[in-house]
Structure 1
Amino acid sequence: MTAAPTKNRKFVQKILADAFEHNLSVNYIIKQDEKRFKRLANLMDYSFKVCSAYGKVLVSQDRKACALVLLPDKKLFSLKMMIWDLKLIFNVIGLKRLSKILRRDRMIKQTQPKMQKMYYLWFIGVDPMAQHQGLGTEMMEELIADARVMKRPIFLETSVLKNVSWYEHLGFRIYHELDLGYKLYFMKMET
């Protein structure tokens, strides 16, 4: 696993957009219209930029898996972040849906721990053509090792029920569930 330089943005964006195309939580955010896949790519581009600035973007050696990690204590208010947020509203969410998404975001933030020193796994994805070959597990094991070195607990959310048992097998536990019209599972691992 290596840090992904900015030149890998489109590559990471493609893997994550393909991996999350049918994800309930991600599709809840994205305006569902004829530009849906482009909006999904824009969401992943936004997430790449945020994690590049305030966390980590990591890619497997074979370039078939990637992860976006946010370090919330590093995230600062800036003009750049404000511009990215505005682009997210206009290019992904849509103005009409903004209050609905802000309400969802508020409920998620109220559930997440208030601690700042965490390793927040925002996205992990494997190229759909390479899934079910152990690449995701290998990537997760490296992320867990990285979080241990940093002495940070790992937090994540998933709306995919089959992923819950996978995360539990790796040592995560559910600490909360939220019903948003779909189940969102909040998981953590002490490192």
Structure 2
Amino acid sequence: MIKATLEDKKRIADILTAAFENNQSVNSIIQQGRREYRIKRLMEYSFDVCSAFGEVYLSDDRQACALVVFPDQKRTTLRSLFWDLKLVFTCTGFGKINYILDREARIKALHPTEPFYHLWYIGVNPQSQNEGIGRKLLEEITRKAHADRRSVYLETSMLKNIPWYKKSGFELFAEQDFGYTLYFFRKKSTGFE
């Protein structure tokens, strides 16, 4: 696993844009005109947030990536406000703000109070899927989180991902209805059991 740098931003946004093109959760928060453009703006925003308040990783072969945010370290800054405004103008639009704020509050309510890794996105280049690259990256992130004595939490709207997360040792602990079902997973660190 490689820690990403700013030079990797375009590659990571491209991987995630392709991997999340048909994701219900992603598509629920973006305006649908120019969808690929808007998904890419969302992934660039996510890269910026995770670079500032978490970590961004690439697989060793640079075909998969993961964006992790540390909610206990996330702060409102002038830079983060700029990113938020840019996201509204290029991706979500003003009409989705209340929906997004409500959605984020409901997600946050299911997160623990102790520090944790929030695996915001993990994706594999579609041409390299089903080769074990994503699983290896997920295992490396989980090991790092547990070495840091943090549990890993994530959400998915993709039914096909549920068996994959369960096979990787994640526990499905909640579901929320947002017009689609969002499934909540966690893998607790032994430091908190």
Instruction: Give the secondary structure class of the aligned counterpart of 1:76.
Output: coil
Task: Tell whether 2:32 aligns with 1:53.
Answer: no
Partner letter of residue 15 of structure 1?
I
TM-aligned CA deviation for residue 61 of structure 1:
1.0
User: Partner residue of 2:19?
Assistant: 19
TM-aligned CA deviation for residue 59 of structure 1:
0.4
User: Partner residue of 2:2?
Assistant: 2
User: Partner residue of 1:64?
Assistant: 63
**Cα distance between partner residues in 1 of 2:20 and 2:149:** 29
Give 2:180's match in structure 1, choosing from 179, 182, 190. Answer: 182
Instruction: Give the secondary structure class of the aligned counterpart of 1:162.
Output: helix
**Cα distance between partner residues in 1 of 2:169 and 2:19:** 23
Instruction: Give the secondary structure class of the aligned counterpart of 2:62.
Output: coil
User: Partner residue of 2:133?
Assistant: 135
User: Alignment length, in residue pairs?
Assistant: 189
Q: Cα deviations across residues 110-148 of structure 1 (Å, max 9, x unaligned)?
A: 2333x1400110000000000011111111111111111
Give 1:149's match in structure 2, choosing from 142, 147, 150. Answer: 147
**Cα distance between partner residues in 2 of 1:109 and 1:170:** 23
Identity of aligned residues (%): 45
Q: Cα deviations across residues 8-29 of structure 1 (Å, max 9, x unaligned)?
A: 1000000000000000000001
Structure 1 unmatched ranges of 5 or more: none
Compute the TM-score of the two structures, normalised by the length of structure 2.
Answer: 0.95
Partner letter of residue 158 of structure 1?
T
Contact 1:65–1:125 under 8 Å retained in 2: yes
**Cα distance between partner residues in 2 of 1:87 and 1:136:** 30
**Cα distance between partner residues in 2 of 1:96 and 1:163:** 30
**Cα distance between partner residues in 2 of 1:134 and 1:23:** 21
User: Partner residue of 2:87?
Assistant: 88
Q: Cα deviations across residues 41-84 of structure 1 (Å, max 9, x unaligned)?
A: 00000000000001000001111000000011111121111111
**Cα distance between partner residues in 1 of 2:19 and 2:57:** 16
Instruction: Give the secondary structure class of the aligned counterpart of 2:145.
Output: helix
Structure 2 unmatched ranges of 5 or more: none
**Cα distance between partner residues in 2 of 1:97 and 1:5:** 31
**Cα distance between partner residues in 2 of 1:149 and 1:110:** 25
Runs of 4+ in 1 over 4 A off after TM superposition: none
User: Partner residue of 2:31?
Assistant: 31
**Cα distance between partner residues in 2 of 1:116 and 1:2:** 26
Partner letter of residue 138 of structure 2?
M
**Cα distance between partner residues in 2 of 1:42 and 1:153:** 28
Instruction: Give the secondary structure class of the aligned counterpart of 1:21.
Output: coil
